[in-house]
Structure 1
Amino acid sequence: MPKRIKEYAGRFSLVDGIPFKLPVAATNSPALMAVFPINPEKAKAFLPKGVHPFRLWNTGLLIVTVIDYRETPIGKYVEYSIAIACTHGAKPAPRLLPALFMNFFKTGQYVVDLPVSSEISVKGGKGIWGMPKHQGHLNFKITEDKVSSQYDLDGKLVTYVEIEPPKKTCLPVKMRASNYCSFRGMLMKSDILLDTKCGVRLFKNAKARFVIGDHPRLQAMKELEIGDAIATVFLPSITGTLDDHIESWFLDFDQLPEKAPEGFESVINLGLSEEWLSPPDAPIPPA
């Protein structure tokens, strides 16, 4: 953890009307992750210039991460991330190496969609860090043999994910994870510092299911040729700290875009409500 974050622990900040006790961190929050192979060539259509699909041999990776935030400076909420593993630079990175040399290749994930439960989470996550947050109907369920989460909009299923949790969750995780997002016509990069323990299932032992429903929002992702899960992760109690250092770059195009990208008008009038939308209830297709 950077020294500057340690030094302001216990102090306070007020940003866009949102009060924070520093550092901006979450604790005692379970999370699931499922990683699926995708067609890396088709993944390019979802990524802006300068962001390239990470290649694990001949495949790209779709990463679905859901966190049930229970203790944060802005209350409780579920965050449902749908992202593509990526690198950032002038040229695509070689295969596999970005997983070993993450800082050199600026390895991370490009977030395609990021619904959350509460209005205040949208206001902070999008307005401060540039994350593509919006409110959705979400849940997070843990049973003995399954961890799952459902994401609905407009009474329709957007996506559903479930994993079979590992028997043990004692593997230590201390790392910096980078998120790339598009907002205000800029590419935004933010980092979360993780210090937790998890359990992992790999390849044939990675039992997971990811369903794209009938809502139009993510229909284009069906073109990614999503395969069976190659890894699942369960974190029974995540501890994560958002870095206060944010990077951004102009998104550039061959011609001037005809339509202005989403900007501050989407968050400026949001309030600080911690209320959730109603639970998702759209039917889930049978396995």
Structure 2
Amino acid sequence: MAVPARQLRLAGRHALVDGIRFEMPINSERSPALMAVFSIDADAARRLIPGNEVHPLRLWKRGLLVVTVIDYRVTDIGQYIEYSIAIACTHGRRPAPPLLPGLLMKTFGTGQYVWDLPVSSEVSVKGGKGIWGMPKHQASLDFVIGRQWVSSQYDLDGRMMMRIDVRKPSSAWLPVNLGAANYCAFRGMLMKSNIYFKGKLGLSLFRPGSARLLIGDHPRMAPLWTLDIDPTPIAAGFFPSTAGVLDDHFECWFLTDPQPPAQAVQGLETTHPLGQSQQWLAPPARAANWEFES
């Protein structure tokens, strides 16, 4: 999927949004990334998604947990890591039939519901959350390209939240050029944004041992333990380098419930006080022998 023509027409123009300066289009370059997709209980996944118009995408009878980590090295707001924990989804009045959303992505509003999105820097939180409604918050992250594995760990409050390891492919041979829709909850609204990226991918499908996912016992991670995550990934891959564009157009809808909400959710009061620091927190407390763990 090519970058929309409107983004190309904007090239070279400048924007100042919430005090953050952007040169259009909002892009990234030379950024390695890893990804892994795991089978999960779709009914349990639905309970993690608010509202009534985003539904877990079903591969046969199961849903999909998508973990994607990008080491953004060249951006308008400096270098940072973004660690996405998401549920593959569709958007519409009713759940979509199995498999078809992968072929008819626009028809079914195929994308991912971003459940958690820690990032390295304060300015990334301010922009991503305040403008696009992404559930960003600052955490301790790393992105390690080792001899056998490519890995990223996410720590918060001095505790390991999640670590994803992807077995390092012998080559990145598959050209990828596509777009993806992100659905997020913020300010009591469902926010939809689009990103377009390209790169060459080293990919494994249905291969035991091609990725391993470790989830910590912090209370924030407790909902993931309800998902019955299959340890054998459906897909696992590594991009040595990607280039991407984040669309400046986004959509939003009110999130509704059968009963009046008991309390307000996070809103702009959580982003207004933030500054534009590009400083990272201390790195995660990673085990020295992580590459040799079984």
Superposition TM-score tier, normalisation by shorter sequence: over 0.9
Q: In structure 1, what is the equivalent of residue 65 of structure 2?
A: 62
Q: Does 1:129 align with 2:132?
A: yes
From 53, 56, 75, give the equivalent of 2:56.
Answer: 53
Helix, strand or coil at the partner of 1:34 = strand
Q: Does 1:247 align with 2:251?
A: yes
Q: Does 1:15 align with 2:17?
A: yes
Helix, strand or coil at the partner of 1:128 = helix
Q: In structure 2, what is the equivalent of residue 3 of structure 1?
A: 5
Report how far residue 205 of structure 1 moved: 5.5
- What is the alpha-carbon distance in structure 2 between the residues aligned to residue 165 and residue 9 of structure 1? 35
Q: Does 1:261 align with 2:262?
A: no
Return the letter of the residue paired with 2:194.
Answer: D
Report how far residue 226 of structure 1 moved: 0.3
Report how far residue 165 of structure 1 moved: 2.1
> Given the superposition, is the C-alpha separation of residues 164 and 107 from structure 1 closer, same or farther in structure 2, using an over 3 Å criterion?
same
Report how far residue 283 of structure 1 moved: 5.5
From 219, 224, 229, give the equivalent of 1:221.
Answer: 224
From 44, 47, 50, give the equivalent of 2:46.
Answer: 44
- What is the alpha-carbon distance in structure 2 between the residues aligned to residue 156 and residue 283 of structure 1? 13
- What is the alpha-carbon distance in structure 2 between the residues aligned to residue 215 and residue 247 of structure 1? 33
Do the aligned partners of 2:208 and 2:233 also contact (CA within 8 Å) in 1?
no
Report how far residue 264 of structure 1 moved: 0.1
Helix, strand or coil at the partner of 2:47 = helix
Return the TM-score normalized by structure 2: 0.95
- What is the alpha-carbon distance in structure 2 between the residues aligned to residue 282 and residue 139 of structure 1? 9
C-alpha distance after superposition, 1:23-44 (max 9, x if no partner): 1000100000000000111111
Return the letter of the residue paired with 1:36.
Answer: F
C-alpha distance after superposition, 1:40-92 (max 9, x if no partner): 11111111211111011121100000000000000000000000000000000
Counting only pairs closer than 5 Å after superposition, residues 77-116 of structure 1 correspond to structure 2 as: 77-116=80-119
Return the letter of the residue paired with 1:195.
Answer: K
Runs (4+) off by over 6 Å:
none
Q: In structure 1, what is the equivalent of residue 155 of structure 2?
A: 152
Report how far residue 170 of structure 1 moved: 2.3
Q: Does 1:33 align with 2:35?
A: yes
Aligned length: 287
Report how far residue 206 of structure 1 moved: 5.9
- What is the alpha-carbon distance in structure 1 between the residues aligned to residue 86 and residue 10 of structure 2? 31
Return the letter of the residue paired with 2:188.
Answer: G
- What is the alpha-carbon distance in structure 2 between the residues aligned to residue 13 and residue 249 of structure 1? 25
Q: Percent identity?
A: 55
Do the aligned partners of 1:57 and 1:96 also contact (CA within 8 Å) in 2?
yes
- What is the alpha-carbon distance in structure 1 between the residues aligned to residue 173 and residue 30 of structure 2? 15
- What is the alpha-carbon distance in structure 2 between the residues aligned to residue 56 and residue 238 of structure 1? 27
- What is the alpha-carbon distance in structure 1 between the residues aligned to residue 160 and residue 209 of structure 2? 24
Q: Does 1:141 align with 2:144?
A: yes
Do the aligned partners of 1:199 and 1:233 also contact (CA within 8 Å) in 2?
yes
Give RMSD over aligned pairs: 1.3
Q: In structure 2, what is the equivalent of residue 275 of structure 1?
A: 279
Structure 2 unaligned regions, length at least 5: none
- What is the alpha-carbon distance in structure 2 between the residues aligned to residue 157 and residue 45 of structure 1? 24
Q: In structure 2, what is the equivalent of residue 167 of structure 1?
A: 170
- What is the alpha-carbon distance in structure 2 between the residues aligned to residue 180 and residue 252 of structure 1? 15
C-alpha distance after superposition, 1:243-273 (max 9, x if no partner): 1110101000111111101000000010000
Return the TM-score normalized by structure 1: 0.97
Do the aligned partners of 1:31 and 1:237 also contact (CA within 8 Å) in 2?
yes
> Given the superposition, is the C-alpha separation of residues 175 and 128 from structure 1 closer, same or farther in structure 2, using an over 3 Å criterion?
same
- What is the alpha-carbon distance in structure 1 between the residues aligned to residue 118 and residue 207 of structure 2? 29
Report how far residue 282 of structure 1 moved: 5.9
Report how far residue 11 of structure 1 moved: 1.4
Helix, strand or coil at the partner of 1:220 = helix
Structure 1 unaligned regions, length at least 5: none
